[in-house]
C-alpha cells in the first residue's frame, strides 16, 4: 500500500489473511493519494483497510467507502493490469 507515493505497508508473498500496519501516519485535512497492489493465488482473499485516531476514540474502524474516490477518468492513460501466480491465462 502506498500513501502519497510512499510505501507504507508491504504484505507481499503467499500467505493466509494477516494484519499489517503502516505505523503512525499523520494526515492533514484534504485528499490523499492511495494505491493498493493486491494479488490472490488461491484460498480466502481478504483486504481490510482500517484506521484509528482521535475521531475513533483510538479504536480501529473500517475506512468508510463514502470518503474514498477514484481519479477522474480523464486522467487515466489507458488500462493495465498485473497478474501474479502460476497457471493463469490472460
Q: How far apart are CA 25 and CA 52, in angstroms?
A: 10
Residue 78 scores a pLDDT above 60: no
Considering the chain, what is the average pLDDT of its residues?
73
Q: How far apart are CA 19 and CA 52, in angstroms?
A: 14
C-alpha dihedral sign at 18, 44, 33, 7: positive
pTM above 0.85, yes or no: no
* Ordered strands of the 6-7 beta sheet: 6-7, 2-3, 34-35
Residue 34 scores a pLDDT above 70: yes
Residue 84 scores a pLDDT above 60: no
The DSSP 8-state label assigned to residue 3 in this structure reads E
φ/ψ of residue 6, rounded to 5: -110, 130
Amino acid at each position: 500500500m502506498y500513501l502519497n507515493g510512499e510505501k507504507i505497508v508491504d504484505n507481499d508473498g503467499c500467505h493466509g489473511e494477516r494484519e499489517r500496519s503502516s505505523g503512525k501516519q499523520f494526515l492533514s485535512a484534504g485528499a490523499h493519494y492511495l494505491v493498493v497492489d493486491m494479488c490472490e493465488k488461491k484460498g480466502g482473499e481478504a483486504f481490510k483497510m482500517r484506521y484509528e485516531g482521535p475521531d475513533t476514540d483510538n479504536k480501529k474502524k473500517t475506512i468508510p467507502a463514502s470518503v474514498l474516490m477514484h481519479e477522474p477518468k480523464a486522467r487515466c492513460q489507458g488500462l493495465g493490469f498485473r497478474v501474479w501466480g502460476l497457471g493463469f491465462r490472460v
